[in-house]
């Protein structure tokens, strides 16, 4: 799935290719993570589970839907907490949303060697994946910073 977004860093159009497939180079499934539109300040992160193209039989109209598995913020913290550390874990729910809600792809890194006995897998969000991601996650944009 090809997603175009306007970078908050330099206002250029950027493109993310998001993948959701059962077999990626014969190494198992690949299900990319995405940043979704949110009315709140907190980022809305999810994993793509299925991309659907639906066709209405009466009108032959086609539309796309995506099945996502949202991530939820976690209170668990790693032993070494760094500035901007955002920890998430997967929820058990699935949701159908419109592809128009996708802002861009996001990198979620699994936490290894969890020393505590906790349920589920934790993920750290890569918040330094370029200037655009840094600005989005901190709720900033260049025009807001330049206005006097």
Domain ranges of the chain: 2-146
Higher per-residue confidence, 61 vs 134: 61
Measured torsion, CA atoms of residues 12, 13, 17, 20, in degrees rounded to the nearest 10: 110
Pairing of strands 44-55, 95-97: unpaired
- Does the reported pTM lie above 0.85? no
Q: Does pLDDT of 130 surpass 80? A: no
Given this model, what pLDDT does residue 127 score? 66
| pLDDT, position 71 | 93
Is 19 a residue whose pLDDT tops 80? yes
Q: Is the pLDDT of residue 26 over 80?
A: no
Q: Which residue matches tokens 């809305």?
A: 44
Maximal C-alpha separation, the chain: 57
Predicted confidence at residue 148, as pLDDT, reads 47
């Amino acid at each position: 799935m090809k997603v175009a977004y306007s970078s908050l860093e330099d206002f250029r159009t950027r493109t993310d290719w998001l993948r959701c497939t059962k077999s990626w180079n014969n190494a198992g499934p690949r299900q990319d993570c995405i940043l979704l539109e949110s009315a709140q300040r907190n980022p809305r992160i999810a994993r793509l589970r299925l991309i659907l193209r639906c066709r209405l039989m009466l009108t032959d109209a086609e539309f796309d839907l995506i099945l996502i598995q949202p991530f939820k913020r976690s209170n668990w913290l790693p032993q070494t907490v760094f500035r901007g550390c955002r920890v998430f874990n997967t929820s058990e729910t699935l949701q159908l949303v419109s592809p128009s809600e996708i802002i861009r792809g996001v990198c979620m890194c699994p936490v290894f060697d969890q020393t505590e006995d906790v349920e589920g897998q934790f993920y750290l969000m890569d918040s330094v994946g370029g200037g655009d991601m840094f600005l989005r996650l901190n709720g900033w944009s260049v025009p807001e910073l330049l206005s006097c």
